[in-house]
A and B are shown apart, each in its own frame.
Chain A
């Protein structure tokens, strides 16, 4: 058991090392959510004037979306890194090691969850500086747990695609998947104000529940179980599917 934990830790640290060793590659995913936050607030800040908008502060409303977007891009980067490892043959050596496949997967996913806290930290500092409402300790903790969990989901998605396509050229697909998952929700406006097709998609998109769970503290200042449990169910459901697919991909890779 301790050997397995050590393997997970080693793989997670390897993922974190990339941030230090290749900072140029990490900067875009580190800054992009903050840039998007500032841009969206500048452009769409007046949407709160629409009748029926549930918040009078667009920074607080859109901040959770950008937190999940940052987590999504960080997770997708795990897939890109795995594709690079496959291209360079490092992953084959990893598969030949005595470490069980689920342990290898856990290591990669754990690194994404921890790394996701970097862009989130930058984002939160900037957001509070420009007037985002403080969600309280519990609200912040709930938000961070969901950010880490969503990064894990995005990493699993990236890993599934990396194992399927075995090339870094699949990177846009990994990033586009997480981008759509986060943005095709109540990202810009409450469900009632979304137009046509987006309202239909956002209604069935499980990530909408995750966004609402993260958003509750920032918009209402309170955390309720009624808004939290649907988010937890969404994360668990998506996690079960994506981890199962990733494990299947790993099993096939070894054949």
Chain B
């Protein structure tokens, strides 16, 4: 009974968050627009990179870049979710939720359910964009399904980090300020270029960056096919980011409730 009630709360808060995102174009536009533009520029400007010795076998540079664009987009989903949560804190909505007879975890999970749903939107957008402009998913329909799962889980994991930031800071402007950091972490991974061909010290950082694992997990079905190794690497990367996000969220929420 309690589980069903919590599920209803999570669903209601998730629906509210999704509606909030679609109602405010300033939230949605950066999530899809900027990664799409960067994808277009990367593909057109660095498309000949596939001719560099050591570049993995790919049908085209767009095939290689799709994973990076999806990853960037899911990170922006996380930041956007964090901003929305911080706005909820600023207007007192979170305080009203705290006063309601619902579990604390349902409040954060509701927000994360919305980021997972936005992850599906991201995957749909970029897979469609890729197919329209000539990319090919080597693993076929099963590969597309796998991409959807990995992208949704990634969005949820980054949503956890965004929520942690929002709960710790309590101000949308502070979460917004984290925006450039998204690019730092992303550029220091193999999201947009093979790690072996990156310059040092970025190549070494990319080796230990969990985002590289996630990017390669999402990329494998596009350029090679489904492999257990890549899938497990991707899931491990998501688990690292998600675990960190959830732990920090729990700590930040506990501190916020204690200090008011």
Contacts and interface: CB of A to CB of B under 8 A. Distances in A.
Interface of A: 24-25, 27-28, 31-32, 35-36, 38-47, 49-50, 168-169, 171-173, 176, 179-180, 183-184, 187-189, 193-199, 201
Given A43-B192, A180-B37, A32 B180 contact: yes
Contacts of B193: 43-44
4 shortest A-B CB distances, which residue pairs? A198-B44, A39-B187, A188-B45, A42-B202
Interface string B165-190: 00000000110110110011011100
B199 A197 contact: no
Interface stretch (B47-55, B86-94, B143-151): B47-55
Contacts of B48: 47, 50, 189, 193, 195
A172 B30 CA distance: 7
B interface SS class? helix
A50 B51 contact: yes
Interface string B1-44: 00000000000000000000000111001100110011011111
A39 B25 contact: no
Interface in B126-162: none
Interface size class of B (residues with CB under 8 A): 35 or more
B202 A24 contact: no
Nearest to A25: B173
B98 interface: no
B46 interface: yes
A35 B183 contact: yes
Contact of B49 (A28, A35, A47, A180): A47
Nearest to A27: B177
Contacts of A25: 173
A31 B180 contact: yes
Nearest to A41: B199
Nearest to B189: A43
Nearest to B187: A39
A27 B30 CA distance: 18
Given A169-B25, A188-B46, 17 more contacts: A36-B183, A39-B186, A39-B188, A42-B199, A43-B193, A44-B49, A46-B198, A49-B53, A50-B48, A169-B24, A169-B26, A183-B45, A195-B47, A195-B48, A198-B40, A198-B45, A198-B47
